[in-house]
Amino acid sequence: MDVVVTGGAGFIGANLCRLLGAAPGIGRIVALDDLSTGSRSNLPHDGRIELREGSILDRAALDAACTEADAIVHLAARPSVPRSLADPVASHEVNASGTVAVLEAARRAGDVHVIVASVEPALAGRGQASFVVPEKTPGLSMGQKFSKMGIRASHTAEVVLEDCRIPGSCLLGGKDRLDERLARARDGQRSQSQAAMATFEATRPAVGAQALGIARAAYEYALDYAKERKQFGRAIVENQAIAFKLADMKTRIDGARLLVWRAAWMAATRKPYLNGEGSMSKLVAGETAVHVTEEAIQILGGYGYVRDYPVERWHRDSKIYTIFEGTSEIQRLVIARAISGVRVQ
């Protein structure tokens, strides 16, 4: 089966391509994304993975890739699989039920989904495994599409699983590795990392970079407006109240950018995040985007609040960066645990 991975050149997509490449029955993999140098270096080079320019929002590129493939892969997370995986993979099936919300959800219920599911709830986060839910699996459907405050160009909907029978061969990474990991968890042995959490940590600089783009756009727009807007016979940027806001905005953006660059460099060169550097970059960049866009609205005054000007949309878009890929509170938790060596609750 040939597969298209949308967003496949990012860190999370590269890890997914590795897992799919090891799965039985998978042929050629097309990684469809805007390719950066770091993304290219993160993809395995075994001849089966084709790097192709384009994105999920590029309808022509997406359609061209899909006509050559049997399935499209999207990402989802954490329904429930209410049984263990003790049976042999060859004859084993997993019964999955639940509802998950995903960004850029499947355009049709026949697309392939990667589901991170709980296989041993008693082990909490260490009792999870990833499965490929094949196209046309009975019980797989798309639920309601959500109307969101921001990032409205991104399709967000529920993926519904109702008694889906998933073959054991769809377990990513293989049953032997899962059994070993679950056995260590049952014995109370520490794990170096959880695959899903490690993937999130590696992708956080990319998410931080998105937040920085929003912050920069709002700052530059507010700066140009402040230079052109005249009040009381002079440009409003000549007033300290406005100029100091812009100075703080610029300072916070540049500081966040350096954190993102450091984390991205560490990920690209495979250096471990010993102090939660990935979380630092996402935390600061996300909160900077919210702050900068709010200040941009303040600088524009009433114009900033109306939809004729773009800053109100940037503010709505920015808020998600303190929520998805781990909330700001979770980022602080990751950093606190990393620097203290204590499992802070």
Enzyme catalytic residues: 325
Q: Half-sphere exposure of 233 toward its Cβ, with a 13 Å CA cutoff?
A: 0
Instruction: Determine the Cα–Cα distance for residues 105 and 200; give it in Å rounded to an integer.
Output: 18
Instruction: Determine the Cα–Cα distance for residues 218 and 220; give it in Å rounded to an integer.
Output: 6
Q: Are 278 and 225 in contact (CB under 8 A)?
A: no
Instruction: Determine the Cα–Cα distance for residues 323 and 321; give it in Å rounded to an integer.
Output: 5
Short-list 50, 321, 7, 16, CA closest to 196: 16
Q: Are 33 and 61 in contact (CB under 8 A)?
A: no
CB atoms within 10 A of CB 215: 30
| DSSP letter assigned to residue 32 | E
Instruction: Determine the Cα–Cα distance for residues 321 and 135; give it in Å rounded to an integer.
Output: 31
Backbone angles phi, psi at 195, to 5 degrees: -60, -45
Sorted by sequence, the CB contacts under 8 Å of residue 100 that are 6+ apart come out as 76, 77, 78, 79, 115, 158, 159, 161
Structure tokens at 102: 């995903």
Sorted by sequence, the CB contacts under 8 Å of residue 191 that are 6+ apart come out as 126, 181, 184, 185
Q: What stretch of H or E contains 52? A: strand 49-52
Short-list 281, 326, 328, CA closest to 77: 326
Q: Are 106 and 174 in contact (CB under 8 A)?
A: no
Q: Hey, what amino acid is at 71? A: A
Q: Are 260 and 205 in contact (CB under 8 A)?
A: yes
Task: Tell me if residue 143 falls in helix, strand or coil.
Answer: strand
